[in-house]
Amino acid sequence: MFEPTSDVTVFFTREPVPRETVQLAVTLPTFRRPEHLIRTLESLLAQHTDKTLAIVVIENDADSLAGAMAAKHFLEDRSVTALVVVAHQRGNCHAYNAGWTAALAHYPALEAIAVIDDDELAAPGWLTGLVKVSADTGADLVGGPQVPKFESGAGAALIHHPVFSPAYRVTGAVPILYSSGNVLIRRSVLDAMPRPFLDPLFNFIGGGDSDFYRRCKTQGFCFAWAAEAEVIETVPLRRTERDWIRTRSLRNGAISAMLEHRARPDAIGRTKTVLKSLALLLASPWRGLSLWRRTGLASAAPYHLQVALGRLMAEAGIVGEQYRNPEKN
* 219: CB partners within 8 A, 6+ apart: 192, 193
Calpha distance 8→60 (Å, rounded)? 10
Calpha distance 174→221 (Å, rounded)? 12
SS3 state of residue 82: strand
Q: Are 150 and 235 in contact (CB under 8 A)?
A: yes
Q: Letter for the amino acid at 174?
A: V
In the chain, domain spans: 8-237, 242-328
Q: Per-residue pLDDT averaged across 253-267, rounded? A: 92
Half-sphere exposure of 219 (CA within 13 A, CB side): 17
Calpha distance 94→161 (Å, rounded)? 29
pLDDT at 151: 80
SS3 state of residue 174: strand
pLDDT band (50, 70, 90) for residue 329: low
Mean pLDDT of the chain: 94
Calpha distance 57→36 (Å, rounded)? 13
pLDDT at 3 over 90: no
Summarize pLDDT for 51-96 with one digit per residue, the tens: 999 999 999 999 999 999 999 999 999 999 999 999 999 999 999 9
* 221: CB partners within 8 A, 6+ apart: 140, 141, 189, 192
Scanning 107-229, the segments in alpha helix (DSSP H) are 126-137, 187-192, 208-218
pLDDT band (50, 70, 90) for residue 192: very high
Range 8-237: architecture per CATH: Alpha-Beta Complex (3.90)
Q: Per-residue pLDDT averaged across 146-154, rounded? A: 82
Cβ burial of 165 (10 Å; 0-12, 13-18, 19+) is middle
pLDDT at 327: 64
Q: Per-residue pLDDT averaged across 205-230, rounded? A: 96
Summarize pLDDT for 96-123 with one digit per residue, the tens: 999 999 999 999 999 999 999 999 999 9
* 144: CB partners within 8 A, 6+ apart: 126, 129, 130, 182, 183, 225, 226, 227, 228, 229, 230, 231
Q: Per-residue pLDDT averaged across 159-176, rounded? A: 94
Around Cβ 192, how many Cβ atoms within 10 Å?
13
> pTM score, two decimals?
0.95
**Closest Cα partner for 191 from 103, 84, 93?**
103
